[in-house]
Amino acid sequence: MDCRQAEPLIPSYLDGELSEVRAAPLRRHLLDCQPCRAGAQGEKNLKRWFAPAAAAAIPAGFAARVARRAFAGDVGEGPLGDVVLRPHAAPQLRAVSEERTFQFVLGLTAAAALLVIALAVSMRSWNLPSGTSLRATDSRDQISVDDAIERLDRLNRAEPAVAPARPVQDRRP
């Protein structure tokens, strides 16, 4: 193994990720090659820059809040977030979706019913008499009292000519 072959293997070797088949020749090379040993030391130094930072502060109640939002149907932002519910969404989400759809349809039906009732009431009011006083009038054949008496007189005068009245006979013995 030469330096050119050894160099890219050093980080994996230090990570403990090199199989023994590959590690054994590298170890032999490192024993013989001072520049590569220095390179290996440089890799070790580099690791000290990746010291773990203090633990991340997790907001109180975070898990509970996320679980609540998840079961409420929230799928977050981003490409997935554009689709509220996906076909392969968890059953709970589908249940939430169905419930929301049902509520929407229910609301829509109620609104439609109210509209029909309002329309019916307003149409009925068109046929009712307007004004504030109650009057019972029949405009079909309005005639005066004098006219009515004159008509009756005419009828009375004409009747004897058509059918003279006969006296009623008593049929009793």
Partner 1 sequence: MDSGNRTPQEGVREPLVEATLMESVQAEDESLVQETLAGSHASFQLLVERYQDRIFSLARHYTRSAVEIEDLVQDTFLKAFSRLDTFQGESSFFTWLYRIAVNTMLDGLKRRGRSPVRTVEDPEILATPGPTRISGPSADMEREEIARITHAVLEDLPEIFRTVLVMREFEEMAYQDIAEVLQISIGTVESRLFRARAKFKDKLLQAHPEFGQE
Q: Which residues bind partner 1 (CB under 8 A)?
A: 7-8, 11-12, 15, 17, 35, 38-39, 42-59, 62-71, 74-81, 85-86, 88-93, 95
Nearest CA to 1 out of 39, 28, 19 is that of 28
Beta carbon of residue 27, minimum distance to partner 1 (angstroms, whole number): 18
In the chain, what is the greatest distance between 2 CA atoms, to the nearest angstrom? Answer: 168
The distance in angstroms from the start CA to the end CA of the chain is 162
Q: CA-CA distances (angstroms) from residue 26 to 3, 10, 41, 144, 162?
A: 9, 8, 14, 131, 146
Nearer to partner 1, 5 or 109 (CB): 5
As a whole number of angstroms, the distance between CA 173 and CA 171 comes to 6
Q: Which is nearer to partner 1, 52 or 167 (CB)?
A: 52
Cβ nearer to partner 1, comparing 55 with 134: 55
CB 1, min distance to partner 1, A: 16
Which residue number, 57 or 123, has a Cβ lying nearer to partner 1? 57
* Torsion over CA: 124, 125, 127, 133 (sign): positive
Dig out the tokens for 49 from the structure: 């820059």
Q: Which is nearer to partner 1, 83 or 149 (CB)?
A: 83
The nearest distance, CB 13 to partner 1, in angstroms, is: 11
CB of 49 to partner 1, least distance (A): 5
CB of 128 to partner 1, least distance (A): 56
